Structure 1
Amino acid sequence: MFKASLRDPKLLKHSIDAISNMVDEVGINVTAEGMTMRAMDPAHVALVDFELKRSAFDEYEVGEAIVLGIDLDRLNTILKRAGKEDKINLEVDPEKNTLKIRLENASTRTFNLPLIEVSEEELKVPDLDFPSTVEIKSDIISEGIKDAEIVSDHVILEVDKENFYIKAKGDLGNVEVKASKEGAISFDVTQDTRSMYSLEYLKDMIKASDIADTVKISLGDNIPVKMEFLSSDVKLSFLLAPRIESE
């Protein structure tokens, strides 16, 4: 048994939008503490870790812990229909093996999403030693990635003792976005670091900027970058493997 009512639709809507292009099918764990998901994209380039806490819900009822097999693309299509003022109600129908999604406002719209069989293999998050971690306003990384997309399909994330950089270079020119230590929420840098990453993945990851005002970015030389979008009710983090820079 699972029944829940989410008061702020953007927490689920924008989180699933950020994840769904990377991962097709997932198992969403539903426990007394909330909803969690950990998955890796088919190319093994990106790993996503998601938690929507019980505190995010006005109503939350669950019996034994369950795993919901979800086609994320279909779920994303439904959630995109939710307006800013809509309340999202979720309920499992065990007889029909569906997740009922009800969007309530001036009208009530009901969608029934078939549940699917998924692997319940538990993924472990790699234990990485990051020499640099900065926390900045999430719109800085969001706008910086969009700027980089104008000239390239990859981006360099770089940090020194004074600044965090987003850099891109291509046939149409180059772009540099600089965020200073003084303007950061936190800035813990033990060494200069630089790595290149795919914009294809980063464009999806920055959709999570709609759920959190800040993003924590952990970096090292030619290792995965970790981006964490955190608020009191939701946690969405990504690990993205680097691209190899050509000489």
Structure 2
Amino acid sequence: MFRASYTATSKFKYITQTIAKITDEAPFYATQDALEVRVLSPDKTTLTIVKIPSIAFEEYEVDEEKHFVIGAGELNKIVKRGTRNDILVFELDEEKNQLKIIFRNKKTGIERSFVLETKPRTVEKIPEPQIDLGVTARFVADDYKHIIRDLKIIGEEAVFHYKDGKLYIYSHAEQKEYRGEFSEGNPLTYLSATIDEARARYSVGLLEATLKPIQAAKFVTLSFDRDKPMKIEFEITEGGYVVYWIVPRIEA
């Protein structure tokens, strides 16, 4: 049995939009702690995790860990029909292989319901990397967006370099170059490191793909280390978050 209700229906739209942009079929995992979607890109360069803690729901019931797969586009279309006056309710019917989606008006109690067939898929939950990363920086979401878009017009690769208490980001191609210098308070809201220096390269295309949930976030936190995957975390509405893990380009 799985049942959950979410009061901020209009804000939940950001979550379903994000899921629909990263996958056609969304594998959901409902545990005692959270409702999650985890998707590994076909080329295995990016792991995306959307997670909503159970405490973010008004009501959250799951008797044991459940997993189900539904069409992400169809889910997005249905959730768009909700309004700020609705409570959003999910009910999983395992016998019928269905996910019932209910909008209950907070004032009148009137309900509208939709049913989505779950896909006949058994999807193994992808483990999140357990990696210590030496540098962590926190950006205002708009600042992060502008940096990635600046990088996009230069080249295919971006270098992230931490040294002497500052974060440097740069990219270069024939006859053009981008360089950015960032420190805590200018404009980073947070910068911390457990190492003296770290330098790593990442695909600008993979970084650009992380901009998909930007409208739902106020802050973006990224962590990296030499020749290790980068972790990029978006804090989204009502205690949820989206995490991207992207592989590095190993320096020769």
| TM-score of the pair, normalised by structure 1 | 0.78
Letter in 2 for 1:191: D
Structure 2: distance between partners of 1:11 and 1:169: 38
The Cα shift of 1:188 comes to 1.8
Contact kept, 8 Å, 2:27 with 2:37, in 1: the verdict is yes
The Cα shift of 1:82 comes to 5.1
Structure 2: distance between partners of 1:64 and 1:23: 25
Contact kept, 8 Å, 1:10 with 1:210, in 2: the verdict is no
The Cα shift of 1:97 comes to 2.1
Structure 1: distance between partners of 2:207 and 2:76: 18
Query: Residues 50 and 181 from structure 1, CA distance in 2 versus in 1: closer, same or farther, beyond 3 angstroms?
Result: same
Question: Does the alignment pair 1:205 with 2:205?
Answer: no
1:51-90: CA deviation from partner (whole Å, max 9, x where unpaired): 2112222233434432121233443444455566654332
Contact kept, 8 Å, 1:102 with 1:111, in 2: the verdict is yes
* Superposition map of 1:4-43 within 5 A: 4-9=4-9, 12-43=12-43
1:127-180: CA deviation from partner (whole Å, max 9, x where unpaired): 323222222323221221123223444433333223323434446843334332
The one of 161, 166, 174 equivalent to 2:164 is 161
Higher mean Cα deviation, 151-160 or 101-110?
101-110
The one of 221, 240, 245 equivalent to 1:239 is 245
In the other structure, the counterpart of 1:185 is: 189
Structure 2: distance between partners of 1:112 and 1:230: 29
* Superposition map of 1:104-143 within 5 A: 110-143=113-146
**Aligned CA-pair RMSD:** 3.3
Structure 2: distance between partners of 1:34 and 1:27: 14
The Cα shift of 1:10 comes to 6.2
Query: Residues 201 and 9 from structure 1, CA distance in 2 versus in 1: closer, same or farther, beyond 3 angstroms?
Result: farther
In the other structure, the counterpart of 2:178 is: 175
Query: Residues 129 and 240 from structure 1, CA distance in 2 versus in 1: closer, same or farther, beyond 3 angstroms?
Result: same
Over the matched positions of the two proteins, sequence identity in percent amounts to: 26
Query: Residues 226 and 92 from structure 1, CA distance in 2 versus in 1: closer, same or farther, beyond 3 angstroms?
Result: same
Contact kept, 8 Å, 2:40 with 2:47, in 1: the verdict is yes
Letter in 1 for 2:8: D
Structure 2: distance between partners of 1:110 and 1:219: 44
The one of 194, 207, 230 equivalent to 1:225 is 230
Structure 2: distance between partners of 1:176 and 1:88: 45
Structure 2: distance between partners of 1:83 and 1:163: 44
DSSP 3-state at the match of 1:207? coil
Higher mean Cα deviation, 94-103 or 104-113?
104-113
DSSP 3-state at the match of 2:126? coil
Letter in 2 for 1:157: F
Query: Residues 122 and 171 from structure 1, CA distance in 2 versus in 1: closer, same or farther, beyond 3 angstroms?
Result: same
DSSP 3-state at the match of 1:92? strand
1:104-145: CA deviation from partner (whole Å, max 9, x where unpaired): 669976543221133332322333232222223232212211
Structure 1: distance between partners of 2:158 and 2:83: 33
* Superposition map of 1:61-76 within 5 A: 61-76=61-76
Higher mean Cα deviation, 99-108 or 37-46?
99-108
Structure 2: distance between partners of 1:178 and 1:85: 44
Contact kept, 8 Å, 2:134 with 2:224, in 1: the verdict is yes
Structure 2: distance between partners of 1:217 and 1:139: 14
Stretches of structure 2 lacking an aligned partner (at least 5 in a row): none
